[in-house]
Amino acid sequence: MSINQSTIKKLYGLSAGRCNICKRVLIEEDVQIGEMAHVIAKNPGGPRGADNLANDNRYENLILLCSIDHTIVDSKPNDYPVSRLHQIKNDHEAYVFNRLSNNRGYFEDLLALNTLFKYIPILELRGMAMELPSRISNRFEAKDMFDNFIRGNPHLYPFKDRQLDRKWCSVISNMEILDCWILGSINGLNLITISDMYNSDPIPQPCYNIYVNDERGYMALNKRYLSPEQIDYVSTEVHRIVQDFIYSHTDLVHYIRNNFNEIEW
């Protein structure tokens, strides 16, 4: 069964005739040079193939690519699993909608991001986080600045772009979880957050700060007072959260770069 004309029109239309990865225009002199790649392969033995979804030519299982990116995607199925291809497609179509609609919401989001990035070193946060669990720069914080931004600019948040809003919230949420450990204390193998300290009476003892300030502008793991067991526990938990943060941060930065070309980092 071939791909029907309505599906072809929808795929090219929502992608604005561009490769969903490199953004190359895929129509030259009225000739369609794009390739309608299958997310799940036509044949079970193909890239990302599945027996129960063979020859699935629905719009939901297709992504518009140039020949180069189609080759790369199919030759590296582990780098381009089904979930990633769906995300690439969704992000590209959102990019097309925002840019071609040229609506007020796009420019409000652009203003919001440019305002935020004057105070939040967004591109540096990933490198800072990668020094955990041993230490983290005191500059790794966005919550207070973000809260101040919301209070001063209630008309600019939430973002009008729903995908941008979701990705931003994921980054902030992961930073807040990290803050619970960076600013928290530990009793045995139990985390005690700042909120717990305010609401708990009395605080269990012995209780030690997990991270302490050093003279170089960092919060360093409190190896002086934490037991080896506590250090291993904290390191394991913080490492896991850092991986979640890096994933969400990379996803956000990639989305902004692809959808807000006028951004001022």
Mean pLDDT, residues 239-250: 97
Average pLDDT, the chain: 90
For the packed helices 143-152 and 162-182, what is the interaxial angle rounded to 10 degrees? Answer: 140
- Res 102: pLDDT: 60
For the domain bounded by 5-101, which CATH number is listed?
Answer: 3.40.1800
């097309």: which residue's tokens?
96
Ranked by mean pLDDT, which of 90-94, 100-104, 123-127 comes out on top?
Answer: 123-127
- Res 168: pLDDT: 96
| Greater pLDDT, 217 or 202 | 217
Close Cβ partners of 65 (under 8 Å, ≥ 6 residues apart)? 19, 20, 21, 34, 35, 37, 73
Band (167; pLDDT cuts 50, 70, 90): very high
Measuring CA to CA, how many Å separate 223 from each of 8, 138, 149, 160?
A: 61, 18, 36, 45
Mean pLDDT, residues 164-186: 95
pLDDT in tens, 16-50: 899 999 999 998 877 888 999 999 988 787 788 77
- pLDDT higher than threshold 70 for residue 153: yes
- pLDDT higher than threshold 90 for residue 265: no
Determine what percent of the chain is predicted with pLDDT higher than 90.
62
């041993």: which residue's tokens?
134
- Res 239: pLDDT: 97
Cβ proximity of 150 and 78 under 8 Å? no
Domain ranges of the chain: 5-101, 104-259
Mean pLDDT, residues 101-121: 86
Cβ proximity of 15 and 49 under 8 Å? no
